[in-house]
Amino acid sequence: MQKAIIVFVRNPVLGKVKTRLAKGIGDVQALQVYTSLLKKTHKVIKDTDAEKFVFYADGINNNDLWENDLFHKVQQTGNDLGERMYNAFTYLFDKGYSKVLIIGSDCPALETEIVEEAFLTLNSAEVVIGPTFDGGYYLLGLKKAFACLFTNKQWSTETVYQDTMQNISELNLSYAVLKQLSDIDTIEDWLPFKDLL
């Protein structure tokens, strides 16, 4: 199989997830929101035609909703988000995959069709990216790990997408941009989706 998809997750532990959101709605409800987001992400990628890898931020859990027979489970490594993503991409390219996508677990509008579109786009582009309304991205797809895409970024800020696009331009890479979606980090992000989550 040429294609692989990475999802970055945290274990759903009270007080340890969605901390910015928790400032507005409390730890208990933030955990409920994150659990709902994990279930949505699972549903989106479960039937995707690709090998599926769950990269855990804080310890692999073999007894969670990510079925052991469908999802490869790996520990994230690295000092910041960029290094951890770069290491995840490198891990899969070293295994021989030729198209790799990474997604987070906090985008309620993500659908399987968008993931499939991203893989198709990599037939003709070197990079595919899905921007978020807060200046980040919810998906990044590559055919090779370019280190500069993951360095010198202020992660979790409104400059991440812009800075990444600047790197893509500097490298003269062919690219495609997917439709813009919302992810959930704060209470303002959550309010439009609260009935869904």
- pLDDT tens for each residue of 62-73: 999 999 999 999
Per-residue tokens: 81: 């988000």
- The string of DSSP codes covering 87-138 is HHHHHHHHTT-SEEEEE-S--TT--HHHHHHHHHHTTT-SEEEEEBTTSSEE
Write down the pLDDT at residue 156.
Answer: 87
Unique residue bearing structure tokens 């901390």: 19
Mean pLDDT of the residues in the chain: 95
Closest CA to 193 of 23, 77, 25: 25
What's the pLDDT band for 118 if we cut at 50, 70, 90?
very high
Write down the pLDDT at residue 1.
Answer: 63
Quick one: what percent of the chain has pLDDT higher than 70? 99
Domains in the chain and their CATH numbers?
3-192 (3.90.550.10)
What's the pLDDT band for 195 if we cut at 50, 70, 90?
confident
Q: What is the pLDDT of residues 14-43, one digit of tens each?
A: 999 999 999 999 999 999 999 999 999 999
**Residue 91 φ/ψ, nearest 5 degrees:** -55, -45
